[in-house]
Each structure stands twice: as C-alpha cells, then as structure tokens.
Structure 1
Amino acid sequence: MEFKWLQSFIVAAQTCNFRTAAQQLHLSQPSITVHIQQLEEFLHVQLFKRERNRVQLTEAGKLFRLEAQQMVLQWEQSIERIRLVSKGIHEKIIIAMTPLMVETILPHVLYQFINDHPALEISI
C-alpha cells in the first residue's frame, strides 16, 4: 500500500468526487481513479459504489476511511517526532492561554522553563 493511495482515498471519501479530490491534491482525475483502484485491489474490497458520475462510500469504505485517517495521522506524528529528535528536542509542549496572560505572566515563566528544559520545543 502506498501513502499516495491513502491520501487520494481520504480526500475522495471526504468529497465523494474524484474530480474535486484531484483538484485538491493537484493530480489528474485519472490518477485518483487509479489510486483508488490500486487500493481496492490491495485490500480486496470495494471502497466506493460507482453510479454514473457519482461515487459513494461502501460500508467497507466508511470503515476504512477512519483507519486511513489514523494511519496518515500516525505517519505525520512519526515524521514530526523524528524531526524534533534530530534537532535534539525530545518533547514538544503546546500551550494555549489568553492574550493577557501571554503579555504579562508567560514571558517570565517561559524564560525560566526554557533554561531549565532545553530539550523541549514549546508552541504557543
């Protein structure tokens, strides 16, 4: 199974339109069709019902959509972790707070925290 098959499937499943999926992924519509066919052959299951110019997910397609989204998410998270580790960063912390706290309290706390934990990346 190839990653581009998953990407094509996910966008086609979201739009239920191979032409629209092709436009969003900057591919040709025949490329999307081939990706879906290859994925269906690989899985030995039909993912879409094809009726005239419309496509709809089959029950297997609905189930696989969730699985495919999880696979792509895991792929992206793994790449992010590898990139951070290559920079010497072993953890990433994301902080959400009000603008008032960002302007008043955060700079002092953040400065001390960064000095104490240089191997962490912080996103605010």
Structure 2
Amino acid sequence: TGKAALTRFRFLEGYAGASLMEAELVTGRTHQIRVHAQHAGHPLAGDSRYGNEDFNRRLRRLGLRRLFLHAHYLAFTDEERQRTIEVSAPLGEDLRKVVQQLELQTDKGLDEQPG
C-alpha cells in the first residue's frame, strides 16, 4: 500500500450498459487493474471485492461465472537469453459467450444500466 501504480485503459467496444476495455499495466501491484477500474467508476464485471453487485448480478444473468479479466497479451524480457518473450491468447469461450449476450442486448437497444 502507498506505492505508486499506473494503469493505462483503452476503450475497445461499447455495449448496452458495459464497455470492453484494454488495460496496460505500467507497474505491477496486487489487484491493480481492479482497483484502478473501480476508482475510475468502471468496476470489472464479476469483481466481488471492488465491483458493483447490481452490475455483477446482471452479468451473472448473462452467463458470467467469474471475474471478467483476461490476459490477452503478455511480454517480458528473458534476461538470460537477452530476448523478449511475447505470449498472446484469445478470449476464452465463457467470456466470449458473455460478450455475445451483451451484443444481443445492444442490438435490441436494451441500454440497461447496472441493476
């Protein structure tokens, strides 16, 4: 606690009452993305500690069963081999299904607010 932390957020897609964001960690602190998202007024879906319970309940109805947080890209330096290691992974099937449900609500014009 008390240590500086920086997260850069980038808007990717908007849905009815929700947004898909990318977070770039400049520093690496415990719960950093979750705390910064909550502080900005946009808590992560499924976050029981820092999130919005009404919003979480809504997303559970759409099939969300865990924190909506996915590491799609990670890069680090392998000091021993003097090279950068890059890893990427697609969004998991469970989270893709939630996004599909959000898209359906958006297409139907259901701009439901949390709750």
Q: TM-score, normalised by structure 1?
A: 0.23
**Which one has the largest radius of gyration?**
1
More strand by share: 2
More helix by share: 1
Structure of greater relative contact order (alpha carbons < 8 Å, 6+ residues apart): 2
